Amino acid sequence: MEFFQRFAIPHPSPAIYASMVAIALVSIAIVVGLTYFKKWGYLWHEWFTTVDHKKIGIMYLISALLMLFRGGADAIMMRAQLATPEAKLLDAQHYNEIFTTHGVVMILFMAMPFIFAFMNLIVPLQIGARDVAFPRLNALSFWLFFAGAMLFNISFVIGGSPDAGWTSYFPLAGNDFSTSVGTNYYMLAIQISGIGSLMTGINFCTTILKMRAPGMTLMKMPMFTWSAFIANIIVVFAFPVLTVALLMGTADRLFGANFFTTANGGMDMLWANFFWVWGHPEVYILILPAFGLYSEIISTFSGRNLYGYKSMVWSMVLISLLSFLVWTHHFFTMGQGALTNSIFSITTMAIAVPTGVKIFNWLFTMWKGKIRFTVPMLYSIGFIPLFTIGGVTGVMLAMSAADYQYHNTMFLVAHFHNTIIPGVVFAMLAGLTYYWPKFFGFILNEKIGKLTFWLLTVGFVLAFFPMYITGLDGQARRMYTYSEATGFGPLNMVSFVGAALMAIGFVTIVYNIYYSFKNSPRNIGSDPWDARSLEWATHTPVPEYNFARVPQISSSQTFWDSKKNGHALFKGEIEDIHMPNKSGVPFVMGIIFFIVGFSFVFALWVPAVIALIGVFVCMTLRSFEQDHGYHIHVKEIKETEAKYGEVLNSEDRPRTTTRV
C-alpha cells in the first residue's frame, strides 16, 4: 500500500479529480477514434517516424499551441484568485503549484517549441536546403522535448506538481522544504527536453553553416536565419549549464548530495547563479528568433528591404555576447556589494543599445515603404511600442540600487511579461499567420485575426500595466492572497479583466483555424503576401524535397530580386534528389526517456536502469546502422512539379501572385 501512496496527489481538489477524469476520457477517445478511423498507420508512417523538418515543425507548432492553453489555464486561475482580496478560490499550495507550472510551461514547453517550430519550418527553406544537417537527430530532439513536456504535465495528476517557483531556488526546492515529488518532475522533465534543445542547437548551427545554397554568404542570409543561427549558438553555450545544474539538483533530491543544501558545505546561492547563467541567455534564445520573424514580416508588408541589415546582424551578435554577462541582475539583492552590482548594472543597461538599434531599424524599414495592415503586420506594429515599454522598464530594473525596491514585486512581473508577450508571443502569432499559407495552403481569416489581435493587445495592456503600479505599491509577486487594507484590490481586478480578454483572444485563434479551414480559398499561389525571401520561392504547400532545383542566391532577398530584377533563381536540369530515410527510433527513444524520467521521479530504480539500458541499446544500434537515405528520381519530381502546374525547364518560373 505504501508503494502506491507516493503516486497519490498530496493536495487533491475537485478540479484535479475532474482533470484526471477528463484526461482519461480524452485519451480513451483518441485511441478509440484512431482505431475506428484506421489512422494508426497514417500516424506512424507520416508523423511518428518522419524526419522531414516541415512535419517536425508542425508537430512543434501543435505542441506549443497545446501548452499555450495549459499555461494559459494556470494564468487565468492565478488572476482569478488575485482579482479580489482574500479570495478563497485557491489555497496557498495550489497557487504555488500553479504559478510554478505556469512559468515552466510557458517558457520551456510553449515558447521554446514555438521558436523551434519556426526554425524547423523556415530555416532550411530560407537557405535553400533539402532538410537540416542531421534529420534523424532533429526528430529525436522533438520526441525528447515531447517526452519532457508530457512528463511535466502528468505531475498534477500523479504525485503532485512542483511548487517552488519556475526558478526553483534551493533550499526551498530541496527535500527539507519541498517534500512532494513535484520538484523531481521539474528536474527530470526539464532535463529531458533540455537535452533535446541542446541537440537542436548543434543541429541548426551545423545546418546554417554547412547547407546554404550556392551564392548565399553569411551576410546574404535572410534575417530570420541569422537570428536562428545566433539563438542556436546561445543554446549550445547556455544549455550545458542547465544540464549540469539540474543534474546536481537531482543528485541533491534523490541521492542525498549536498550541492545546494544549507548543511555540509552546500551553497544555496550556487543554484541561483547556475540557473540564471542559463536563464538569462535563455530569454535571448526566445527573443532573437522573434526579432527575426518581425524583420521578415515588417520588410514584406512595408514593401521594402530591411533597413540596416549589417547593423541588425551586429546588434544580435552583441546581444548574444552581453546575454552571458548579466545574470547577476536577477539577484542584485543577494548582498554581493556595490562593485559587483555596478558592473552587472552597466552590462545590463548596455543591452538596451543594440536592442534600440533594432527598434530604429524596423521603424526605418517602414519609412518610405508601402505599409499593408495585415494581421502579421498588426502584431509587428503593436510589438514596437509595447516592447519599447518593456525594454525601458528593463533599463529601470537594471539600476541596481533602485532594483532593491522593484525586486520580487509585481513591477518585475509586469516587466518580463511586457517583453515576452509583445516580444515572443506576438511574434509567434504573427509568424503563425504569416507562414500558415506556406504549409497549409490557405490564409487564416483576416477579420477574425484582427479581432484576435485587438483582444490580445487590449487584454495585455489591462492585465499587465496595473502591475507596474501595484509593484511600486509594495505587492510582492507569488503571494496567493492579500488583505483589503493593502488597496491592491481594484488594480488586480483590472488585471483579471485583461487576462480574461486575452483568454478569449486565444480561443479565437482556434476558432480562426477551424473557420479558415472550412472557408478559405485554396487558390492562393505560392506567394500570397508578395514576400521577399527564399522560402516563398517554392510551392505551396511545400513539396517533400523543398526545391526541385537548388536555388542560386544573389542577396538576402533573393526571391525579390528574381521577381523584380530578373535574377534567375533556378538554373539547369532537374536531377535526382537525395533524401534521408524515415526512422521510428527517435519516437521509441522518446518513450524510453519518458520511462527513465518517470522512474527517477519516483525513485523506481529497476525500471530506471532497464530503460537507461534501452537508451544505450538504441544509440549502439544506430552507430552500427548503415543508412544512406534514398533518392527521389527525376521522373517522380517532374510528376510532382507538374501537379503544382509549373512549366518545367524554363529559366524563369511563372508565379501566381494574389495580393492581400
Q: Report the alpha-carbon distance of residue 506 to residue 331 in Å, rounded.
A: 33
- Backbone angle region of 487, left / alpha / beta, with phi > 0 → left and psi within -120 to 50 → alpha: left
Q: Which region among 58-66, 110-118, 327-335, 586-594 touches another protein (by CB under 8 A)?
A: 327-335
Which member of 7, 42, 404, 517 binds another protein (CB under 8 A)?
404
Which member of 384, 451, 513, 588 binds another protein (CB under 8 A)?
384
Of residues 254-293, which lie at the interface with another protein (CB under 8 A)? 258, 262-269, 272
Which member of 4, 5, 36, 337 binds another protein (CB under 8 A)?
337
Closest separation between CB of residue 341 and another protein, Å? Answer: 5
Under rule CB under 8 A, residue 520 binds another protein: no
Which member of 63, 320, 393, 419 binds another protein (CB under 8 A)?
393
Place of cell 485587438: 454
Under rule CB under 8 A, residue 310 binds another protein: yes
Q: Report the alpha-carbon distance of residue 645 to residue 550 in Å, rounded.
A: 19
Of residues 344-363, which lie at the interface with another protein (CB under 8 A)? 345-346, 349-350, 352-353, 356-357, 359-361, 363
How many beta carbons lie within 10 A of that of residue 104, not counting itself? 27
> Which grid cell is 305?
528591404
Dihedral sign, CA of 19, 24, 30, 36? negative
Q: Which region among 220-228, 377-385, 426-434, 502-510 touches another protein (by CB under 8 A)?
A: 377-385
Which member of 19, 243, 273, 388 binds another protein (CB under 8 A)?
388
Closest separation between CB of residue 392 and another protein, Å? Answer: 4
Closest separation between CB of residue 477 and another protein, Å? Answer: 7
Show Cβ contacts of residue 277 under 8 Å, excluding neighbours closer than 6 positions.
Answer: 238, 241, 324, 327
Closest separation between CB of residue 359 and another protein, Å? Answer: 6
Closest separation between CB of residue 128 and another protein, Å? Answer: 22
The amino acid at residue 292 is G
SS (H, E, C) 237-290: HHHHHHHHHHHHHHHHHHHCCCCCCCCCCCCHHHHHHHHHHHHHHHHHHHHHHH
Q: Which region among 15-23, 89-97, 517-525, 535-543 touches another protein (by CB under 8 A)?
A: 89-97
Q: Report the alpha-carbon distance of residue 650 to residue 477 in Å, rounded.
A: 63
Closest separation between CB of residue 652 and another protein, Å? Answer: 20
Closest separation between CB of residue 370 and another protein, Å? Answer: 5
- The b-or-e profile of 419-434 (16+ CB within 10 A means b, else e) is bbbbbbbbbbbbbbbb
Closest separation between CB of residue 305 and another protein, Å? Answer: 5
Which H or E run contains 577? Answer: strand 577-579
For another protein, which is the closer residue by CB, 103 or 580? 103
Closest separation between CB of residue 499 and another protein, Å? Answer: 15
Q: Report the alpha-carbon distance of residue 517 to residue 442 in Å, rounded.
A: 7
Under rule CB under 8 A, residue 80 binds another protein: no
Of residues 625-644, which lie at the interface with another protein (CB under 8 A)? none
Q: Report the alpha-carbon distance of residue 582 to residue 544 in Å, rounded.
A: 12
- The b-or-e profile of 320-357 (16+ CB within 10 A means b, else e) is bebbbbbbbbbbbeeeeeeeebeebbebbbbbbebbeb
Which member of 19, 84, 175, 405 binds another protein (CB under 8 A)?
405
Binding track, positions 149-188, relative to another protein; x by CB under 8 A: --------------xxx---x-xx---xxx----------
Closest separation between CB of residue 393 and another protein, Å? Answer: 7
Closest separation between CB of residue 539 and another protein, Å? Answer: 27
Dihedral sign, CA of 283, 231, 53, 419? positive
For another protein, which is the closer residue by CB, 370 or 518? 370
Q: Report the alpha-carbon distance of residue 18 to residue 13 in Å, rounded.
A: 9
Q: 289: cis peptide before it, omega within 30°?
A: no
Q: Which region among 27-35, 245-253, 278-286, 383-391 touches another protein (by CB under 8 A)?
A: 383-391
Q: 171: cis peptide before it, omega within 30°?
A: yes
Under rule CB under 8 A, residue 366 binds another protein: yes
Under rule CB under 8 A, residue 426 binds another protein: no
Between the CA of residue 520 and those of 327, 442, 444, 512, what are the distances in Å? 47, 6, 7, 10
- The residue length of the chain stands at 660
Partnered with residue 630 across adjacent β-strands are: 579
Size of the site for another protein (CB under 8 A): 102
Under rule CB under 8 A, residue 87 binds another protein: no
Q: Which region among 65-73, 332-340, 442-450, 517-525 touches another protein (by CB under 8 A)?
A: 332-340
Under rule CB under 8 A, residue 403 binds another protein: yes
Closest separation between CB of residue 532 and another protein, Å? Answer: 11
For 508, what's the count of Cα atoms within 13 Å in the CB-facing half-sphere?
19
Under rule CB under 8 A, residue 309 binds another protein: yes
How many beta carbons lie within 10 A of that of residue 222, not counting itself? 30
Dihedral sign, CA of 328, 332, 335, 340? positive
Under rule CB under 8 A, residue 85 binds another protein: no
> Which grid cell is 584?
521510428
Under rule CB under 8 A, residue 311 binds another protein: yes
Q: Report the alpha-carbon distance of residue 596 to residue 377 in Å, rounded.
A: 44
DSSP per residue over 97-163, as a string?
Answer: HHHHHHHHIIIIIIIHHHHHHHHHHHHHHHTT-SS-SSHHHHHHHHHHHHHHHHHHHHTTTTT----
Q: Which region among 210-218, 437-445, 464-472, 541-549 touches another protein (by CB under 8 A)?
A: 464-472
> Which grid cell is 174?
530541496
Of residues 468-487, which lie at the interface with another protein (CB under 8 A)? 469-470, 472-474, 476-482, 487
Q: Indicate the pairing of strand 577-579 with strand 630-632.
A: antiparallel
Which member of 84, 93, 175, 657 binds another protein (CB under 8 A)?
93
For another protein, which is the closer residue by CB, 348 or 599? 348
Expressed in angstroms, the distance from the first to the final Cα of the chain is: 64
For another protein, which is the closer residue by CB, 374 or 599? 374
Under rule CB under 8 A, residue 574 binds another protein: no
Closest separation between CB of residue 95 and another protein, Å? Answer: 9
Under rule CB under 8 A, residue 400 binds another protein: yes
Under rule CB under 8 A, residue 12 binds another protein: no
Q: Report the alpha-carbon distance of residue 214 to residue 222 in Å, rounded.
A: 14
For another protein, which is the closer residue by CB, 475 or 538? 475
